[in-house]
Amino acid sequence: MENSKEKPKITTLGALKQSGYRPLSVKQEIAKNTAEKLKHRQAIFTGLFGYDDTVVPQLLNALLAGHDLILLGERGQAKTRIARSIADLLDEWVPIIEGSEINEDPLKPLLKKSKEIIKQMGDETPIDWVNKKDRLNEKLATPDTVVSDLIGDVDPIKVAEGRYLSDESVINFGLIPRSNRGIFIINELPDLAERIQVGLFNILEERDIQIRNFVIRLPLDVFVIASANPEDYTNRGRIVTPLKDRFGAQVRTHYPQSIQTEAQIVLQEANIASLQIPGNENYLPKIEVPKFMLEIICSISSIARMSPQVNQRSGVSVRLSINNYETLVASAIKRALITNELSAVPRISDLDSLIDSIAAKIELDTFEEEGSEEVIASIIRAAVSTVYKNYISPDEVGAILGPFETGITVETGSDLSSLSYQEIVQQIPELKTLAHKLVDITDSAQLASAIEFILEGLHLSKRLNKDAIYGRFIFRSKQRPKQV
C-alpha cells in the first residue's frame, strides 16, 4: 500500500487501522527499503559514478544502522545528490493526520491539538497521505541562519491570546519539525553560528525541541543529513564538538579517480541550452564530440586538482568539467551555424574559449590577471599533451613530418570551416590516414577536429613549431625559420 505509485484511497483513521497499517520510523523505512533492494540486487543509488567501491559501502552501512549522516567533501563531489537520493528509499506514501503541520502519524499523534481531534472524532478522524518527494527538506547553512529558521519561534500573537509558553500551539515550527517523518538536509554545516549548532543537540539526541529556554517534548522522527567541507569541519574548529558526536556516521566523498569516471558524469550532467529550445530542430547542427576532446576536458580538471598554482583548499569541482564541456560545444555550434555546416564538432582551437570559463570556476594562487591566464593555458596544454600521448605513438607520425620538412605550413583556426581542412589533407595525405584512427573521416567536421588534435600534439611533443597570428595558428617544421 505505502509503496504504490497511486495515492491510497483510505481517508479515515478507522479505515487505516483496518488496512493493517503499522507505523515505521523514518530510519526503519529507509533500512527496510535498502535491505529489500540489496536482497534483489537492485541499484540503490543512480547517477553516482566512481563511488561503488568507496563511498557507497559506507553509505549502506549508515542507512542499515539508522545513523544520522554527515557527508565530508570538497565542492562538486555529489554530496547534495547523495543526500537527495536517499529520499528515494522512503516509502512512496505515508499517512498523516489531515492538516498536520508536522506530518503526524495518525496512530502516534504528537501535538495536543491532534490528540484532541482524535479523541473527539475517533475512527472518523480524517487522514491524508504524503508522497516521499514531499518528505525532504533542505537548508543551506549561512552565518545569518537563526533558530526560528530551523526549529521555530514563539508566535507573540498566540501568546497574547492567553496561551501558555509550555503549549506547543504557540510555536511557528521551523524546517526541522516540519521535516518530521522525513529527511532534513543541512548543507555546509560549519557555516552555522555556534549558538545555532547548540540548538541542534536535542534534535539529534533527545529528538525534542527547545525554544527560548523552555522545552517542548515532541519526539520528532527525522533523519538528519549534513554536508561539510573537510577543511572547515576538521581543521578550523567550526563545528562544536558535542554536535560532531551526535552524528552516527561520517562518509568522505572524493573527486573522480579516473578520466573515464569524470567523463561519465559530464555526459550525464551537461546541459546544452540550445537543444532545449523548441523549433531549433530545423537548423541546429548535429553535435558530435570526439572521445579525445571529452577526455581533454576531463584532464583539465584532473591536472588542475594537482597543480600547485591552483588553490586546492577551495577544490576543483566536477562542475568545471561540465561547464567546460558546455562551453566547448557552444563554440562548435557557433562555428557550424556561421559556416552553415551540418555537424558541430569541437576542435583544439575551441579550447581558447575555455580560458574565461575556467577562471570563473577555480581559485589560483596568483593575483595578476595576465599570470592567471598563462597558468590556465598551461593546464590546457598539459591536458592536450596527456591525452595525445594516450592516442598517438611517436612512431606513427614520421610520415606526417616529412611534408613539413619540405617547407609546407598548415593554418588552423576556430573560425575556419571544416572544408578548409580538405586542403591540408591534400598536402599531407598521411594526416587523413592517422585521423582514421580517431574519428569518422567521412565527416569533414570530425576530420578537421582530428587534424587539429594531431598537429597540436606534434607541437606539444616538440615535433612542430606553432605560431599564433591574428587568431589563426600556423604549424611549420622546427627545421625551417618562421615566415615573416
Domain boundaries, the chain: 13-252, 259-477
Please report, in angstroms and rounded to a whole number, the separation of the first and last CA atoms in the chain: 80
Q: Beta 69-72 vs 249-252: how paired, if at all?
A: parallel
Task: Please tell me the distance from the alpha carbon of residue 333 to that of residue 345, in angstroms, as a whole number.
Answer: 8
- CATH node for 13-252: 3.40.50.300
Please tell me the predicted confidence (pLDDT) of residue 466. 94
Task: Please tell me the distance from the alpha carbon of residue 424 to that of residue 436, in angstroms, as a whole number.
Answer: 15
What is the pTM (predicted TM-score) of this model? 0.85
- The answer to whether 171 and 152 are in contact (CB under 8 A) is yes
Q: Could you tell me which residues come within 8 angstroms of residue 119 by beta carbon, excluding any fewer than 6 positions away?
A: none
Q: 54: which 3 cell numbers?
A: 568507496
- The answer to whether 314 and 72 are in contact (CB under 8 A) is no
The three-class DSSP label of residue 414 is coil
pLDDT tens, N- to C-terminus, the chain (484 residues): 556 778 999 999 999 999 989 999 999 999 999 999 999 999 899 889 999 999 999 999 999 999 999 999 988 899 999 999 999 999 999 999 999 989 999 999 988 889 999 999 999 999 999 999 999 999 998 888 888 888 877 766 665 565 555 566 677 888 988 999 999 999 988 888 887 887 777 677 766 666 665 566 778 899 999 998 887 765 555 777 777 778 889 999 999 999 999 999 999 999 876 665 666 656 678 899 999 999 999 999 999 999 998 888 778 999 999 999 999 999 999 999 999 998 999 999 999 999 988 988 888 876 555 578 889 999 999 999 999 999 999 999 989 999 998 889 999 999 999 999 999 999 999 999 999 999 999 999 999 999 999 999 999 999 999 999 888 999 999 775 555 4
Q: What is the 3-state secondary structure (H, E, C) of 303-330?
A: HHCCCCCECCCCCCCHHHHHHHHHHHHH
Task: Please tell me the distance from the alpha carbon of residue 104 to that of residue 221, in angstroms, as a whole number.
Answer: 10
Please tell me the predicted confidence (pLDDT) of residue 57. 95
At position 117, the amino acid (one-letter code) is: I
Q: Give the angle subtended at the CA of 336 by the CAs of 333 and 339, to the nearest 5°.
A: 150
Place of cell 540550445: 274
Task: Please tell me the distance from the alpha carbon of residue 238 to that of residue 255, in angstroms, as a whole number.
Answer: 24
- The answer to whether 8 and 93 are in contact (CB under 8 A) is yes
State the CB neighbour count (10 A cutoff) for residue 193. Answer: 16
Comparing C-alpha atoms, which of 345, 341, 319 is closest to residue 330? Answer: 345
Task: Please tell me the distance from the alpha carbon of residue 327 to that of residue 354, in angstroms, as a whole number.
Answer: 7
Please tell me the predicted confidence (pLDDT) of residue 484. 45
- Report the DSSP beta bridge partners of residue 187: 140
Task: Please tell me the distance from the alpha carbon of residue 143 to that of residue 469, in angstroms, as a whole number.
Answer: 50
Comparing C-alpha atoms, which of 248, 241, 245, 244 is closest to residue 223? Answer: 248
